[in-house]
Amino acid sequence: MESPSPVAARRILEKLARHYPGARTELKYGNAFQLLVAVILSAQTTDKQVNRVTAGLFQKYKSPADFASLTEEELAGEIKGCGLFRTKARSIIGASRRILTEYRGQVPDTLEGLLSLPGVGQKTANVVLSTAFAIPALAVDTHVFRVSARLGLARGKTPEETEEQLKRLIPRKDWKEAHHWLILHGRRLCFARNPRCPGCFLQHECPQGRKLLSQGLADR
């Protein structure tokens, strides 16, 4: 698959921006640390479910020190509504303790610093950088990975490769918004199974949508 021209990519981004104005994270948080915890919890769990869990969690535990004082069993019991809750409990406690010992209780605002925290990978770090600190970053989750590939915006075999390709294609000022546009498109239309290609506002820009059009199977 060939990468789209800058003109074609810009056309796709402009349509996404018009269709999803004001797109932003659906996770609820009050500060950078709460966002970090919420993003860790969001792996293989919907944002709605994370918000249900954190509504009570953040009332009881408000700081890295609060979480660092918990045992893994205690925190696992609090977040068992999320998938992989035991692993996530270990990561959150480990990250909280590292924040206390290495960063004076403050979430680091650099990619290197965030990646040094237990349980924090490239996607989580990029979400925190762009959302909590307004530092340009482009996080690639499962939705971004899938949708950008279907639209022909990237052809990376890994999220990291896709991130680099998207960053070369998309203007730096649009990285944060593009992340949210692609996520919303994946959640609302471009599903992993049975994507709603007929009638999709991007069907003329999308290789799969154009194929359906040529076969007379999509709305013209």
Does residue 141 have an active-site annotation? yes
Q: Which of 45, 128, 55, 115 is nearest to 82 (CA)?
A: 45
Residue 206: CB partners within 8 Å, gap ≥ 6? 150, 151, 152, 197, 200
Spatial contact of 152 and 12, defined as CB atoms under 8 Å apart? no
In the set 66, 141, 157, 176, the catalytic residue is 141
Written as one letter, the residue type at 57 is L
Spatial contact of 136 and 130, defined as CB atoms under 8 Å apart? yes
In the set 66, 123, 167, 173, the catalytic residue is 123
Both tokens assigned to 158 = 């890994």
Spatial contact of 9 and 170, defined as CB atoms under 8 Å apart? yes
Question: In Å, how far from its chain's centre is CA 178?
Answer: 11
Does residue 123 have an active-site annotation? yes
Residue 20 CA: distances (Å) to CA of 71, 97, 179? 41, 38, 11
Point out the residues that are catalytic.
123, 141
